[in-house]
Structure 1
Amino acid sequence: MKKIAVIGLGLIGGSLALELKKNSWVTIYGIDKNPEHLEKALERGIIYEKAELDIIHEMDVVIIAVPVNIIPELSIQVLELIGENTLVFDVGSTKAAVCDAIRNHPKRKNFVALHPIAGTEFSGPEAAIYDLFTKKVNIICEKELSSPEMIERTISIFENLKMRNVFMDSPVQHDKHIAYVSHLSHISSFMLGKTVLEIEKDEKSIFNMAGSGFASTVRLAKSNPETWTPIFLQNRDNLLKSLEEYIKNLNQFKDILTRKSADDVLNIMEDTNRIKDVLAGIKHE
């Protein structure tokens, strides 16, 4: 019987636990500083047992699914406790900080720095669902610093979740790219929601007039601020650059609207329409 500890029982950690529990040869232990999360995870059948960090030395696999500002220090703590053949991986959406923190650790070979690109706007153990990872991408960084055995085990786990594994040498590049395709999207959603709430004081009017376009655009603004605040701060430099470029484009669009330039409005949208082909190409790779 394989023993797996999941540290952090929110959306990602809880959903991983649900998927791994499908295997009859696995026992899932849950660790979370929030006792309510632990109790909910136990009640919902996400984990088999509640536990503390002192069981880590018994585990075959340790999954770190806590906020990104906690991951670097916790990863070091976990590596100090594991056995020789324990696989450890984190699932944070930033990778540079944790990779830097553990780079010279004697058990670095046991650690796989990865980022399963999957999620919803919901949080906590009650948000955990089956099939969250199906047909999604899992990014593995600095493969060469993990042992071949740990990489092989990691690939097997995520292939069984029906994910596609891809590799990036540089965690710094990972954080740069993810700032544009994920983190900036969340900021845009939060700020659109904030703008509408500030302009439209009568909230009933918002709900009466909001169509699917507005709902889909602000969906991410329902995400947990306690999760996303440390992500924004940890990836601050990349986000500042992406925000500068985003604001530049917003100001350009504002300018052509001010000039009432129908041709420019049309052209800028037609140029951007090619995003459909880009996304379609990625989807069908």
Structure 2
Amino acid sequence: MDKAILIGCGLIGGSMMRDLKSHFPEITICGRDRSSENLQLATELGIIDREVEEADFADADLVVVSIPVDASTTVVRELLDQIGENTLIMDVGSTKEHICTAVSNHSKRHQFLAAHPIAGTEFSGPQAALKDLFKNKTMIVCEVEKTAHRFQDRARELFDILRVRVRYMTPQSHDRHIAFVSHLSHISSFMLGKTVIQEEQVERDIFDLAGSGFESTVRLAKSSPAMWTPIFALNKKHVLDSLDGYIENLSRFRESVKNDDYKTIFQEMEQTNRIKEILEGISNGK
């Protein structure tokens, strides 16, 4: 690859560009960000070489769109109008049905790939970008059959550089599954943090008692509200489904405590312990 363009100079896109630059030292990476501060920082950190110019879209090999999901539909459609015939556009947002629907009838739909890397941290901005962030992680790709083979090959080249495992799903399946394993996790973390902050207003010593368990559970509450609020909005149906199941389990737990039914609590926790085996299997590639 000779030229890549990054739209949104944050954690995910910035980390991709770090790996791409490591593999192709001579590549030119241009960037755009709604924050001039982020754009300048991305340049200073070597994530991008310079700000993108309109002429760059005509001969870019790759455009990665890594912005809040509520903005991505409009931006991707506009970029499809601008790019040359040899450019691949890849969106990496964590909701997929809306973006696939938005571009479904575009004349350059075959130059678009809907992807979602299952990787990240609770931090945001260019300074959060990490080399090898995606190593041994999963990259979900949706509607790959609608992307022309030559652009699929280019995406696979990028995925090999990132060292990800690729899994193919429909946009609908992706959005439902990710609501449970990712979106619900963030909601739980945000609401746990909110609950403890409310209590801390009364009891000033509460954070002195917070150990590693609390820290790891509430870690995701440090994530960007600007990124996550649109995700919850666009995946509303599946987020509500995941919340219904979670709230039902919390209500049952509360009733068990209220009724001194600790046998049930023990049994449910023991059954849930099998999550260890599931996660170990995933980490071992099973």
TM-score using structure 2 length: 0.96
Aligned residue for 2:66? 65
Tell me if 1:231 matches 2:223.
no
Aligned length: 284
Offset, 1:158: 1.1
Aligned residue for 1:76? 77
| Alignment-mate amino acid for residue 206 of structure 1 | I
1:151-209 Cα deviation digits (max 9, x unpaired): 121112112111111111x1011000000000000000000000011112167523311
Distance 1:148 1:3, change over 3 A: same
- The answer on whether the counterparts of 1:40 and 1:126 sit within 8 Å (CA) in structure 2 is yes
Aligned residue for 1:149? 150
- The 5 A counterparts of 1:103-252 are 103-168=104-169, 170-201=170-201, 205-252=205-252
- The answer on whether the counterparts of 1:19 and 1:161 sit within 8 Å (CA) in structure 2 is yes
Q: Secondary structure at the match of 1:133?
A: coil
Tell me how far apart the structure 1 counterparts of residues 156 and 96 of structure 2 sit (CA, whole Å): 18
Aligned residue for 1:36? 37
| Alignment-mate amino acid for residue 40 of structure 2 | E
Tell me how far apart the structure 2 counterparts of residues 260 and 97 of structure 1 sit (CA, whole Å): 46
Aligned residue for 2:12? 12
Tell me how far apart the structure 2 counterparts of residues 48 and 230 of structure 1 sit (CA, whole Å): 30
Offset, 1:52: 3.8
- The answer on whether the counterparts of 2:190 and 2:220 sit within 8 Å (CA) in structure 1 is yes
- The answer on whether the counterparts of 1:115 and 1:139 sit within 8 Å (CA) in structure 2 is yes
Tell me how far apart the structure 1 counterparts of residues 97 and 203 of structure 2 sit (CA, whole Å): 41
Q: CA RMSD in A?
A: 1.2
- The answer on whether the counterparts of 1:31 and 1:52 sit within 8 Å (CA) in structure 2 is no
- The answer on whether the counterparts of 2:69 and 2:93 sit within 8 Å (CA) in structure 1 is yes
- The answer on whether the counterparts of 1:65 and 1:91 sit within 8 Å (CA) in structure 2 is yes
Q: Secondary structure at the match of 1:69?
A: helix
| Alignment-mate amino acid for residue 215 of structure 2 | A
Distance 1:254 1:144, change over 3 A: same
Q: Which runs of 4+ in 1 moved over 2 A?
A: 52-55
Q: Secondary structure at the match of 1:6?
A: strand
Q: Secondary structure at the match of 1:139?
A: strand
Tell me how far apart the structure 2 counterparts of residues 227 and 206 of structure 1 sit (CA, whole Å): 29
1:37-85 Cα deviation digits (max 9, x unpaired): 1100111111111124452112111110110001111111011011111
Tell me how far apart the structure 1 counterparts of residues 202 and 13 of structure 2 sit (CA, whole Å): 38
Tell me how far apart the structure 2 counterparts of residues 19 and 121 of structure 1 sit (CA, whole Å): 20
Aligned residue for 2:256? 256
Tell me how far apart the structure 2 counterparts of residues 143 and 248 of structure 1 sit (CA, whole Å): 36
Offset, 1:131: 1.4
Tell me how far apart the structure 2 counterparts of residues 246 and 223 of structure 1 sit (CA, whole Å): 21
Report which stretch shifted further, 1-10 or 89-98: 1-10
- The answer on whether the counterparts of 1:159 and 1:165 sit within 8 Å (CA) in structure 2 is no
Tell me how far apart the structure 1 counterparts of residues 180 and 39 of structure 2 sit (CA, whole Å): 34
Q: Secondary structure at the match of 2:116?
A: strand
- The answer on whether the counterparts of 1:9 and 1:125 sit within 8 Å (CA) in structure 2 is yes
